[in-house]
Each structure stands twice: as C-alpha cells, then as structure tokens.
Amino acid sequence: MTYLIDRRLQGKNKSAINRERFLKRYKGQIKEAVARAIKGRSIKEMESGEKVSIPSKDVNEPNFGHTHGGVWETVSPGNKEYLKGDRVARPKGGAGGKGKGKADNSDSQSEDDFIFELSREEFMNYFFEDLELPNLVKTQLAATTDFKQQRAGYNMSGTPSNIHVLRSLRGALGRRIAVGGPAKRRLREAEQALADLLADGVPESDQRVLDLKKEIHALHTRILAIPFIDPFDLRYTNRVKVPKPMTQAVMFCIMDVSGSMDEQKKDTAKRFFILLYLFLTRAYDKIEVVFIRHHTAAAEVDEQEFFHSRESGGTVVSSALHLLIKILAERYASGEWNAYVAQASDGDNWDNDSVLCRQLMVNTIMPAVQYFTYVEITEGPPQNLWEQYSQIPDHHPHFAMQKIEKPADIYPVFRELFKKQPK
C-alpha cells in the first residue's frame, strides 16, 4: 500500500499534520491554558501567541511493564526484623512521597510539564472558537460580488497546462476500439479461414488463398494506420467562475463619550469594542462595521477616531439612536442586510430622553435588526437608561443587556452576549 502526503500548502513546516493532530488531542488542556492567559492580558495583547504548559501526566503514553508473576522469594541482607512467614502490613496513604523532593503545587509549572508555543493564529482560533453572531439568518443573500473557480467538465480546446491526461488517453482508447474493432474482428475471421484452407490441403496458388492473404494484408495496414492518440482525443480541464453567495452583515458600535464617562469607563468601553472588533474581523470576511460616538450629539467616525479621540459634554443617547435609524434606512435596507448593534454607556442620561430611547428601540430599531447588545459600565446601581432598556426583552427577545463593573468583567460579558446559540 502506498501513502501520498500532500505538503504543498505546508511550505517549510513539514510537521503541520502532526501539530494539528497534537492540538486536537489536547484541545481541553489548551483551551484551559488560553483561558488563563486571557485573564492576565490587555486587549491590545490578545492577538499575540502564548506558551502553553501541559502536565506530564496528560502527555504520558501508556506502556507495558515487566513484573514478577506467581510466588517468589527474595533475600534481603541485614534483615533483623522479619522472619519467613511474617505478614507485613500495607503502608497507609498509598505510594510514598512526591519524589525529587518537590512540593505539590498544581498551579506552578513543573520540571516535567510539556511546554510549547501557540502561534498567533492558533491562539485566536481557540479564543473565539465558541462565539458567533446570533441569528445570522436572512431570507435574501448578498449580490453575487464574489466568485470562485469550479470544475465544469472538459473542453476539446485549451492550454497545454490544462490537458487532462487520463481523460485524453481514455478517449483515445475508446476511439481505437470503435474504429479498429470491426477490422480486427474481420482480421481474425480471415486468418482463421486461411488456416482452415491450408489445413485442408488447398495449395497456396489457389485463388481463395490469394484473396484471403490480400485481405489480411489490407486489414493489417488499416489497423496500423489508426493513430495511438489524435488531436480529436485531447480533453482539457474546464473551470468556470460561479457566484459564491454570502450573507451580508453590518455591525454598529455605539459608544457614549460624554462627561459622565470618565477615562476609566471610556477605557473599559474601548476594550470591549476592540475585543468585538477583533472577533468580527476574524470571524466574518464580508461584514461592515459602523462606528458611532455620541454625547449631546452623535457622529459617525472612523475606527481610529472611535477608539482614540477624547471628548466631553452632556449625554443625549437618543441622538445616537436617531443616527442609527438614519444610516439603516439609507445604506442598509432591512430586507438585504443582517444588522447588529452593540452599545456601551454608563447609563447616565436625561430622564425624558431615556423614555424616548426605549420607544425608539421597541418601535423602530429592534424590528430592523437581528441582534442588539447593551453593556452598562458602572460600579453603582443601574441608571435610568438600564431601567428603560430592561423593558425591551418583553417585546423583543433578541435584545441582550449586561453590566460591566470592572475590566475583568469584559471577557465574561462578551462571551455571554455572543455565545453560540443552541440549535
């Protein structure tokens, strides 16, 4: 049996298959190591690799050992305590100590732990493995802007590099059988008839023998004239471009930058959106992201300004929602796009405006979007915006809200908002 290994996509990394097998086998331990690494990292460090330590007991392979069987006796020199036939009590607590004089510290890396490096791509794959945009289903697909090459049978013309050798030889063999089959069958009949005449004692000068020899020669010439392969037999692999349907999605990121959002709260909101941005850009190739910042007025900004510029002022959350409705209506028709919204605020807002926000959400925004997440960044009790938003799930179950009190809550809240939904 012959095994063929395709290493064209591996480059210089000849052990890629073994590495994939190893990562699959110790997936549980690696995910735990990634979870531990997340707690000690800032958001900006998320895309780097990580050193992973696996206890030696988890990587040890089972093996066979040799031991004594049956009844056997040993002689120990210097024994003054036991005689033949004495019964020795079993030691309490199982086997002896830990060995090598090391303390049992399960949190620290041991000398025998297996340590290896996760690449940046592998680390991010484990980091976002069980996350997704909920309800990513729409009745209408995007326009066919992407195409992929797909095999579509064979052509009788093409470039030499696209010649399909096997199909060409198969066609040549079929042509030779079809064209030369009758001639070969008649040749066998003529040769048999000639052999029968000669066996019956008919002289070679007989006209029947001469006619058969002439016909046999003509049949041989005809068969030899059939080419082994003809340009007519050549077949070329045909590839066509076919549209690759993709679901369109747009993600709106809304952040409060008013004066009530101090630098610590703004930094927490930025970390949440950076994590969301990393997730979106890695998980989906065709997803647009719209950034909206607001205080008393809202504005659509680019990624750089959204994450790094500083502003202050009062808070009118409805200004951001009105801008969201306007952009949805002008650029992202509800029947053609999956629209998702993530909003971060400290919850501080004018009382009357919070009521208006709830009305806009219930009557206009929620029917037009697939999923809306709201995170409130505050260490104290919920604010008036939280109280108004808490009434939305009664009307629209695809609305989710969570509270972030400290930076350590960012990742657990993020996972809760975007965890995979049960099928």
For residue 148 the two structure tokens come to 């992929």
Q: Inform me whether the pLDDT recorded for 327 exceeds 90.
A: yes
The residue that leads in pLDDT, 319 or 314, is 319
Give the pLDDT of residue 102. 44
Average pLDDT over residues 104-117: 55
Question: Residue 183's closest CA among 226, 230, 222?
Answer: 222
Does residue 94 lie in a domain region? Answer: no
Q: Which amino acid is at 250?
A: V
Q: What is the pLDDT of residue 152?
A: 81
Q: Are 231 and 270 in a shared domain?
A: no
Chosen domain end from 238, 266, 300: 238
Both 396 and 354 in a single domain?
yes
pLDDT at 207: 86
From CA 381, how far away is CA 361, in angstroms rounded?
Answer: 22
Q: Is the pLDDT of residue 12 over 80?
A: no
For residue 340, list its beta bridge partners. Answer: 251, 371
Does the structure show a pLDDT above 50 at 151? yes
> Per-residue confidence at 97, pLDDT binned at 50, 70, 90?
very low
Whether pLDDT at 5 is above 80: no
Local confidence band at 410 (pLDDT 50, 70, 90 cut-offs) = confident
- Residue linked to tokens 């392969």: 229
For residues 322 and 208, the model is more confident at 322
Looking at 238, 264, 297, the residue that finishes a domain is 238
Domain that holds residue 30: 15-59+112-127
216 and 279 share one domain:
no
Q: Give a yes or no: residue 392 inside a domain.
A: yes
Range 72-94 burial, b when 16+ CB lie within 10 A, else e: eeeeeeeeeeeeeeeeeeeeeee
Q: What is the pLDDT of residue 106?
A: 43
Residue 367 burial (CB count, 10 A): 11
Angle at alpha carbon of residue 353, lines to 328 and 378, rounded to 5°:
95
Considering the domain architecture, whether residues 190 and 264 belong to the same structural domain is answered as no
Q: Please check whether residue 148 lies inside any domain of the structure.
A: no
- Smallest CA-to-CA distance from 248 within 337, 340, 327, 370 is with 337
Highest mean pLDDT pick, 58-67, 82-91, 347-356: 347-356
Tell me which of 61-75, 166-180, 229-243 is least confident. Answer: 61-75
The verdict on residue 105 lying in a domain is no
- Whether 216 and 295 map to the same domain: the answer is no
**For strand 338-345 and strand 114-118, is the pairing parallel, antiparallel, or unpaired?**
unpaired
Answer whether residue 423 is part of any domain.
Answer: no
Same domain flag for 305 and 377: yes
Location of structure tokens 């109280």: 387
Distance, CA of 390 to CA of 397 (rounded, Å): 11
> Which candidate, 356, 342, 349, 360, places its Cα nearest to that of 313?
349
Least confident of 40-54, 61-75, 133-147, 380-394: 133-147
Residue 147 in any domain: the answer is: no
pLDDT of residue 108: 46
Sheet harboring 338-345: ordered strands across?
A: 298-301, 287-294, 249-256, 338-345, 371-377, 399-404
CA dist 125 → 24, 84, 119, 128, 217 (Å): 12, 64, 10, 6, 73
Residue 30 and residue 52 in contact, taking contact as beta carbons nearer than 8 Å: yes
Shared domain for 306 and 212, answered yes or no, is no
Contact 322, 356 (CB under 8 A): no
Q: How many domains are contained in the chain?
A: 3
Query: What is the DSSP code string of 162-201?
Result: GB-HHHHHHHHHHHHHHHHHHHHHHHHHHHHHHHHHHHTT
Asked if 304 and 185 sit in the same domain, the reply is no
Judged against a pLDDT cut of 50, whether residue 43 lies above it is answered with no
Q: Is the per-residue pLDDT at 168 higher than 80?
A: yes
The answer to the question of residue 102 being in a domain is no
The reported pLDDT for the residue numbered 295 is: 87
pLDDT of residue 324 exceeding 90, the answer is yes
Sort residue 324 into left (φ over 0), alpha (ψ -120 to 50) or beta: alpha
Is the pLDDT assigned to residue 248 strictly greater than 90?
Answer: no
pLDDT confidence bin for 374, thresholds 50/70/90: very high
Q: Does residue 144 carry a pLDDT above 90?
A: no
Among 205, 238, 271, the domain boundary falls at 238
> Do 186 and 325 fall within a single domain?
no
Token pair of 358 as six digits: 């709830």
Asked whether residue 110 carries a pLDDT value surpassing 70, the answer given is no
Helix (H, G, I), strand (E, B) or coil at 288: strand
Least confident of 61-65, 166-170, 224-228: 61-65
Residues 360 and 275 in one domain: yes
Residue 143: predicted pLDDT: 43
Contact 398, 263 (CB under 8 A): no
- Residue 282: what pLDDT? 67
Mean pLDDT of 152-181: 86
Residues 380 and 293 in one domain: yes
Question: Which range, 243-247, 283-287, 315-319, is most confident?
Answer: 315-319
β-bridge pairing 147-155 and 114-118 = unpaired
- Asked if residue 5 is part of any domain, the answer here is no
Residues 209, 253: one domain? Answer: no
Closest CA to 119 of 51, 177, 175: 51
* CATH code (residue 373): 3.40.50.410
Q: What is the mean pLDDT of the chain?
A: 76
Looking at residue 293, what DSSP letter applies?
E
Share of the chain above pLDDT 90, in %: 11
Mean pLDDT for 220-240 is 86
